[in-house]
């Protein structure tokens, strides 16, 4: 969920029923070197908790240092990423590469677990290659090293997001460990979530891409509310997301960051396809807001209710370090 799970996304997830939300993955090297943008990922608001902050890296000592910083920022869990399949992460020895380096993987989990008092969890893929069963061999060892829970996305790194998640593997992992296992991958509806829970024995399911621009999927999964949103509700939620993201990232950075979200919100037959392209071409968020309200004028009333229900922003917490590029920081 890199480039997606900003604070506004997480807060929205909590409003729609998510029991736990997770940050996008945070570079331990970036935290170690005091990179401003990386430090900004540790901005935490009271209404998004409980919150897991996910860290990635390949050096146990640096990972432990980052974990202490994450705990100091107020995270309720430290999640270790052994699942990212993206080349720029795996080529550094981090992410899914660690599934094939069990000694280093266990060393990282042990160092992180010793460094913090909050629970340490691990997110995995099945392995690097199609058909790999590396996660089944590594999972019990990670638990012995200190992992309090494991999350499995049973695709290989090579698959990226193609094909189907093989949750038969999730079921096998549940049998092999004595900690909660969270199932990730293709959790897109209540029926699918129930089927995965029933057939694998997992403790919970994780929703990722299905919630991008579609928080109503969370409500349907959690509360069995299948009725989709009105056009006004879609526009109001998008506008709130735009405003909250601009507050978090600053308007200049948010303008480009938000473009991918327009299609996610406005797709699924909610608005004509050219409308999304029109928004992408607008130069300012003020223009985007005006165009959205012109398409759904009554969204203003819905938006006012949403904003009235938000907690005050003074509860935001960041590390006591200079973070100058983030709005209000």
Cβ atoms of residues 194 and 175 within 8 Å? no
* 3-state DSSP assignment of residue 5: coil
Query: How far is CA 278 from each of CA 1, 229, 272, 282, 284, rounded to the nearest angstrom?
Result: 25, 22, 11, 7, 12
- Known catalytic residue: 22? no
Q: What DSSP assignment string belongs to 140-158?
A: HHHHHHT-SEEEEEEEETT
Q: Which residues fall within 8 angstroms of residue 270, CB to CB, at 6 or more apart?
A: 229, 231, 234
| Strand 204-206 with 181-184, pairing | parallel
d(CA 26, CA 43): 12
Among 28, 84, 106, 135, the active-site one is 84
Point out the residues that are catalytic: 84
């Amino acid at each position: 969920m890199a480039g997606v799970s900003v604070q506004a996304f997480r807060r929205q997830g909590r409003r729609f029923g998510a029991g736990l939300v997770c940050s996008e993955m945070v570079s331990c090297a970036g935290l170690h070197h005091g990179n401003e943008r990386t430090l900004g990922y540790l901005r935490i608001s009271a209404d998004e908790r409980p919150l897991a902050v996910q860290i990635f890296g390949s050096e146990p000592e640096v990972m432990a240092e980052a974990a202490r910083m994450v705990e100091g920022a107020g995270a309720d869990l430290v999640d270790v990423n052994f699942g990212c399949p993206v080349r720029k992460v795996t080529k550094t020895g981090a992410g899914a590469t660690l599934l094939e380096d069990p000694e280093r993987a266990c060393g990282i989990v042990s160092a992180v677990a010793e460094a913090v008092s909050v629970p340490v969890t691990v997110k995995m893929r099945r392995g690097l290659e199609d058909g790999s069963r590396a996660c089944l061999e590594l999972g019990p060892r990670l638990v012995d090293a200190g992992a309090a829970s494991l999350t499995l996305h049973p695709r290989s790194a090579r698959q990226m997001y193609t094909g189907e998640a093989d949750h038969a593997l999730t079921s096998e992992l549940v049998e092999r460990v004595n900690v909660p296992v969270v199932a990730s991958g293709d959790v897109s509806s209540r029926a699918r979530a129930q089927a995965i829970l029933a057939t694998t024995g997992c403790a919970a399911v994780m929703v990722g891409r299905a919630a991008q621009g579609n928080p109503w999927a969370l409500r349907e999964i959690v509360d069995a509310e299948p009725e989709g949103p009105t056009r006004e509700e879609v526009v109001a939620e998008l506008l709130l997301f735009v405003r909250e993201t601009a507050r978090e990232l600053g308007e200049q950075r948010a303008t480009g960051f938000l473009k991918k979200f327009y299609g996610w919100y406005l797709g699924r037959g909610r608005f004509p396809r050219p409308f999304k392209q029109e928004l992408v071409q607008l130069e300012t968020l003020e223009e985007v807001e005006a165009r959205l309200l012109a398409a759904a004028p009554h969204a203003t009333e819905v938006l006012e209710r949403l904003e009235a229900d938000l907690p005050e922003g003074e509860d935001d917490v960041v590390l006591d370090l200079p973070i100058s590029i983030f709005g209000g920081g």
